[in-house]
Structure formats: C-alpha cells, structure tokens
Amino acid sequence: MSKQAEFAVILKMNAMFADLGTDELQRLSNLCHTQHLGNGEVLFQKGDPGDALFGVRRGQVRIETGAADGSRLTLNFMGPGDLFGEVAVLDGQNRTADATAGEASELFVLRREDFLSFLEREPKVAIKIIALLCQRIRWQSERMEESMLQPLPVRLARRLCALAADFGSEVHISQEQLGVFVGAARESVNRQLQAWRKEAILDLQRGRILLRNMTKLTAIARNE
C-alpha cells in the first residue's frame, strides 16, 4: 500500500472525513507529504500558526501544555492511525498546545493552503466538511454535559477504555494527567484507582496503569 493510500485510510477513520467518497479521499491524500521526527523533537508549540493537518503513520506524538507550577501536562496521546489538527487546518488560528514526539515518528502532513485550494475546487466536499464540523460541535456539547453530570468513576473508566483502545492494556499516563482528562483533582483520581486496584480491575505502577479486567471497566464506563 502506498503512503497516499495509507493516509486515505487514516482520513476515512476520522469523523470529519468519514463520509467522503473513495475518489475524494484519494485526491485529498495525494496532497500530503511525510515528515520524520526524532524522539523528543517538537512538532509545533502553543502559539504557532495552525498551518497543517497531521496523521500519525508510525510512532507517538504527545499533545502537551504547561501547568501553573512549571511542569508539563499531557492532554492526549496520538498513535498510528490518529489524525490531529483538523480545526487548525480550517481556521488557521494559533495552536493551543504543544506537540512533541514521544518516540521516533513518521507523520503524514497536509498543508492548510493545499487543503483550502482543494475545497475551492471541490465545493461538494466543503459542504460535507461543514456538516461534519456541526456534528463535532454537537458531540463536544454532549461530552461537556457528560463531564458535568456523570460521576467520576464513569468518566475515569471511559477515559481509560479510550486509551486502552489506542495503546493496549498498559497505559502510560500519570494520575495528574488523568485528572486533567476527566476534570478532577489528582487525589480524587488516586482514590478511585486504588479502589479499582483492590478489586483487581487494574494495577498501578510508576507512570503507568495496567488494565487487568477490561470487561468490568467497560461496564463501569457504560454506567451499568
């Protein structure tokens, strides 16, 4: 499979592009090029122009921001098949966080100017993108409501299940970072994780969480 074909698959897996046809995806993926990053190399920093969309071909990229005490908080992990920068490639506004390679990585890159030129030539695709963005706004609204109404165990279980889907049963994340994800203090996250450890749902090690009983964790995530 060519690199362009691989990028087309990644685009297809993303909600923003999922409804595009095969020919449309192929024409779009033909505009991409690849970029290599070494371990720890910075892709972009907060405040940089949002000039490209990225897809991870191999490796891992951490989306990070600075905490008030000067430490770094990881907001998300991007692994093979993940796409990020969709909003920036449309509005061109400054990046709101940093992106750093967690290991040697290869990325697909679609420049904003190429993407906008493509949309000018393909107005039907532009209309589809608008509809998909509206769906994304609705999804984010639902997630915000969820974060306000769902109890911490449900929010925490859903986040761990999502991370497990991307990275397997060994999740490399700190309890402070988990707290950022679910909108809770590290102490509250720790108490819940310790309770689940006693129930053999997971095991805690320094900087990582080993998920032992995904069936039980998934049931909690579903609020069953």
User: What is the spatial distance between Cα 163 and Cα 57, in angstroms, rounded to a whole number?
Assistant: 18
pLDDT at 147: 61
Contact 202, 145 (CB under 8 A): no
CATH 1.10.340.70 fits 150-220, yes or no: no
Contact 74, 63 (CB under 8 A): yes
Write the CA distances from 211 to 121, 165, 166, 192, 199, integer angstroms.
47, 11, 13, 14, 12
Write the CA distances from 103 to 8, 23, 37, 166, 188, integer angstroms.
24, 33, 8, 16, 31
Write the CA distances from 20 to 49, 126, 128, 182, integer angstroms.
27, 10, 8, 32
Where do the domains of the chain lie? 1-142, 150-220
CB atoms inside a 10 Å sphere around CB 214: 16
| Residue 192, SS3 per DSSP | helix
pLDDT tens-place values along the chain, 224 residues long: 788 888 988 888 877 787 788 888 899 899 999 999 999 999 999 889 989 999 999 999 998 887 656 667 777 888 898 888 887 788 888 888 899 998 999 999 999 999 999 989 888 888 877 887 777 677 667 666 666 678 889 989 988 998 888 778 888 888 887 887 787 888 999 999 999 999 999 998 887 899 999 999 999 988 87
DSSP letter for each residue of 10-21: HHHHSTTTTTS-
User: What is the spatial distance between Cα 77 and Cα 5, in angstroms, rounded to a whole number?
Assistant: 23
Q: For the domain 1-142, what is the CATH code?
A: 2.60.120.10
pLDDT at 146: 61
Contact 83, 20 (CB under 8 A): no
pLDDT at 143: 63
Write the CA distances from 29 to 12, 110, 132, integer angstroms.
10, 8, 18
Edge-to-edge strands of the sheet including 33-37? Answer: 33-37, 105-111, 52-58, 83-84
pLDDT at 214: 92
Helix (H) or strand (E) segment spanning residue 152? helix 152-167
